[in-house]
Amino acid sequence: MPTVLERLNHALHHALETDPRVHLLGEDILDPYGGAFKVTRGLSTDFPDRVHTTPISEAAIVGVANGMALRGLRPVAEIMFGDFVTLAADQLVNHAAKFRWMYNDNVRVPLVVRTPMGGRRGYGPTHSQSLEKFFLGVPGLKVVAPNTLGDPADLLAAAIAADDPVLFIEHKLLYTRPLLEAGVGDLRDMQIETAGGPYPAHLLRFTPHSHLTIATYGYNFELARQAALDLLYEHEIFAEIVLFSQLSPFNIDPLLESVQRTGRLLTVDEGTLSLGWGAEVISRIVERSNDLSRYYVSRVAALDLPIANSKALEDEILPSQEKITEAAIELYHEEGASHQSSR
Amino acid sequence: MLDNQSLYKTMLRIRRFEERALAEFSTGKLFGTTHAYIGQEADAAGIFAAADPGDVVFSNHRCHGHFIAYGGDPYRLAAELMGKATGLVGGRGGSQHIQWRNFYSNGIQGGIVPVAAGMALAEKVQNTGKVALVFTGDGTLGEGVFYESLNIASLWKLPVVFVVENNRYAQTTPVELALSGSICGRFAAFDIPAWERDTTDVLEVRAAAAEAVGYARAQTGPVGLILRTYRFAAHSKGDDVRAPSEIAAFKDKDPLTVHAPRLGDDERARIEAEVAAEIEEAFTRAASDPFPMMKDEK
Ligand SMILES: Cc1ncc(C[n+]2csc(CCOP(=O)(O)OP(=O)(O)O)c2C)c(N)n1
Ligand SMILES: [Mg+2]
């Protein structure tokens, strides 16, 4: 199976080939280097007029892309590391996300900002974060994260074709991962249901009678999937996974349906725990539930600390398969009044 | 090319619009805040007399004068200020956030500058022959993204006109406390030709703008247009800390006063009456318009 990186590269190539309005902008994206993570490799060779290498100017990269989008082009901007998206926050929040609604639907902003997030490559505190939480819940801005289950090329193609801005979060560790194949390998014993629009949510389960639900997205699905296999084969606990592709705004229904069956929800993401993605997901479940005593919830996320450079520390700070397994076992044994624990 | 009467009328239309808008706060028809263009009318009138009607404009918080000189309808703007459904953007944007044809504005200092550069890029690759004009003030030169944009616009030869209206203040902060070096030098550092004028004479502004805009269009590249001016009204509403004597000393530079002698008394009286009626009509009509209702959002 192709890797996530190959699929993203393919989607960009295809978009450039089929739509003359598509332009790419970013730092160091020209060949032979082809971008810090090589997602744009080969593109400047094939489309030299529409692949623009930029100065180190994240605010202007997204700002220029905004202007291009307002005036009939379909720019795809790359922010070299997701950590640097803070420099473009004003462009995303106060410009791109606002224009359409603020101008009473007079305009469209078909902008994609792609950026790699996430740790475990030993890059330390400023090159390892998952900062998407700061951009969730911004009206007018979609946040999408690919994974190894759906085809990342489809997600990126949909984002480029969309008329509204999309922040596209690519976890660094996904790039070299091959796409999964239904009925093969890890998925051998899992049934998969996919629901909802261009950025779907996937439900993966071994049985209709799962003991608990794990909600996750992006790379952390890799960890959650390993944990689910481990829970089944080592602990006889059936965990089903709801894997989101669209983080914001998002539809809770696929997850709600699952949690209504299992009664237990574990959220897994790599942003810092406090006020993070899991908190909103759990709130939505709770809001939609009339019998709170039926639900047990827990979160696995990054510790509320910068991400250390040393692997020994980084491993402690970020989610891992072991932490997910442990949290799931605890959640499985939870009884009595509903409460929330976290690790 | 616009004649003296038209230029005068544009400036007067802006002046009377802004005076009326400020007055409507005490009647309760306007709410929130607004940034009046009073004193700077020659900039907008001169620039839009030199630009093409199809050119793309990104304006800032002080956008009413730009919008009116661009050819915008004072009634639609008045309705927007009053938060009416008939406003330029249905009451969603208000004073600082308007959009009409190729005119856009936003209330964030600096952020609009790269957006305008991107618009210029889009016009360039689509071969429309349009230039993008972006309006900033002296205070906005403190924003880093301004320089990121100059750099990219120069590197990529983007047809963008960076207008800096230097009215000597950013809110309450005099330019001496906020700006080191020279404004011209900023453009020079990026190899961007710049026209700088210390004038409130609309004809001089128009001449400089014609050269600058013409150069940007002909060369498909960026230019600076730096206009030294003065605002007579407060920054927004009640936030003026300048000495009245200082403001008074600029009164003979009032762009209307400077341009008036080029018209006959009768012409001026006629224009004055026409504009008064137009502004009255704009605000009265807007006042009786309905307020917007929330639309179903998905
Ligand atoms: C990013 C940002 N910072 C601060 C403000 C608040 N603010 C609005 S206008 C203004 C002064 C701008 O001065 P200048 O650029 O000289 O324009 P002028 O008001 O004189 O036309 C300030 C500080 C803002 N709107 N945006
Ligand atoms: Mg100023």
Chain A residue at shortest CA distance from B117? A64
Q: Are residues A149 and A84 in the same domain?
A: yes
For ligand 1, atom 3, which residue shows the shortest CA distance? B109
Q: Are residues A192 and A159 in the same domain?
A: no
Interchain proximity B149–A64, CB inside 8 Å: yes
User: Under a CB-based contact definition with an 8 Å cutoff, are residues A142 and A156 in contact?
Assistant: no
Give me the CATH number covering residue A157.
3.40.50.970
Cα–Cα–Cα angle for B219, B225, B227, rounded to 5 degrees = 165
User: How many domains is chain A partitioned into structurally?
Assistant: 2
Q: Are residues A154 and A189 in the same domain?
A: no
- Whether A337 maps to a domain, the answer reads no
Question: A70: which chain B residues are within 8 Å (Cβ-Cβ)?
Answer: 104, 115, 118-119, 122
Alpha helices in A183-288 (DSSP H): 220-235, 253-262, 277-287
Interchain proximity B111–A94, CB inside 8 Å: yes
Q: Are residues A51 and A129 in the same domain?
A: yes
* Of residues B201, B194, B175, B141, the one with CA closest to residue B11: B201
Q: Are strands A239-244 and A191-195 parallel, antiparallel or unpaired?
A: unpaired
Q: Are residues A169 and A243 in the same domain?
A: no
Residue A40 banded pLDDT, cuts 50, 70, 90: very high
Question: Would you state the pLDDT for residue A118?
Answer: 98
On the 0-12 / 13-18 / 19+ scale of CB atoms within 10 A, A18 is exposed
Q: Are residues A124 and A158 in the same domain?
A: yes
User: Under a CB-based contact definition with an 8 Å cutoff, are residues A61 and A77 in contact?
Assistant: yes
- Whether A283 maps to a domain, the answer reads yes
Interchain proximity B111–A64, CB inside 8 Å: no
For chain B, domains (ranges, CATH) are 4-289 (3.40.50.970)
* Nearest atom, ligand 1, residue B61 CA: 9
B205 vs A334, residue with greater confidence: B205
Q: Are residues A278 and A207 in the same domain?
A: yes
Interchain proximity A91–B114, CB inside 8 Å: yes
Cβ < 6 Å from ligand 1: which residues? B 35, 61-62, 107-110, 136-140, 165, 167, 169-171, 235
How high does pLDDT run on average in chain A?
96
The DSSP secondary-structure symbol of A95 reads I
Question: Mutation test of ligand 1: which of B62, B140, B171 has the most ligand atoms closer than 8 Å to its C-beta?
Answer: B171
Name the amino acid, one letter, at B147.
Y
Question: A79: which chain B residues are within 8 Å (Cβ-Cβ)?
Answer: none
ipTM over 0.95: yes
Predicted confidence (pLDDT) at residue B119 exceeds the cutoff of 50: yes
Choose the closest CB to B126 out of A66, A72, A106: A72
* Nearest atom, ligand 1, residue B165 CA: 21
* Of residues A133, A85, A166, the one with CA closest to residue A278: A133
Note down the domain range covering A217: 185-332
Tens of pLDDT, residue by residue over B20-54, are 999 999 999 999 999 999 999 999 999 999 999 99
User: Under a CB-based contact definition with an 8 Å cutoff, are residues B134 and B161 in contact?
Assistant: yes
Q: Are residues A325 and A217 in the same domain?
A: yes
Q: Which of A174, A204, A224 is the last residue of a domain?
A: A174
User: Under a CB-based contact definition with an 8 Å cutoff, are residues A65 and A99 in contact?
Assistant: no
Chain A nearest CA to B3, separation (Å): 32
* Of residues A42, A36, A33, the one with CA closest to residue A11: A42
Give residues with Cβ within 8 angstroms of A166, minimum separation 6. Answer: A111, A112, A113, A141, A142, A143, A144, A159
* Nearest atom, ligand 1, residue B35 CA: 19
Q: Summarize the confidence of residues B103-121 as an average pLDDT.
A: 98
Tens of pLDDT, residue by residue over B163-202, are 999 999 999 999 999 999 999 999 999 999 999 999 999 9
Question: Would you state the pLDDT for residue A338?
Answer: 44
Residue A24 banded pLDDT, cuts 50, 70, 90: very high
Residue A336 banded pLDDT, cuts 50, 70, 90: low
Which residue carries 């002080």 as its tokens?
A: B62
- Whether A26 maps to a domain, the answer reads yes
* Of residues A14, A62, A5, the one with CA closest to residue A38: A5
Joined tokens for residue A81: 């590391």
Q: Are residues A213 and A104 in the same domain?
A: no
Residue B239 banded pLDDT, cuts 50, 70, 90: confident
Please give the Cα distance from B162 to B146 (Å, whole number).
10
CA of B31 to the centre of ligand 2 (A): 23
Q: Are residues A328 and A257 in the same domain?
A: yes
Q: Summarize the confidence of residues B15-19 as an average pLDDT.
A: 98
Give me the CATH number covering residue A194.
3.40.50.920
Q: Are strands A201-205 and A239-244 parallel, antiparallel or unpaired?
A: antiparallel
Asked if A57 has any chain B CB less than 8 Å from its own CB, the reply is yes
Asked if A69 has any chain B CB less than 8 Å from its own CB, the reply is yes
Q: Summarize the confidence of residues B108-132 as an average pLDDT.
A: 98
Question: B149: which chain A residues are within 8 Å (Cβ-Cβ)?
Answer: 60, 63-64
Joined tokens for residue B204: 């001089």
Asked if A23 has any chain B CB less than 8 Å from its own CB, the reply is yes
Give the rounded distance of the alpha carbon of A134 from its chain centre.
13
Q: Are residues A50 and A170 in the same domain?
A: yes
In this structure, of A91-105, A209-223, B256-270, B283-297, the range with the lowest mean pLDDT score is B283-297
Q: Are residues A192 and A322 in the same domain?
A: yes
N-to-C CA span, chain A = 34
- Whether A180 maps to a domain, the answer reads no
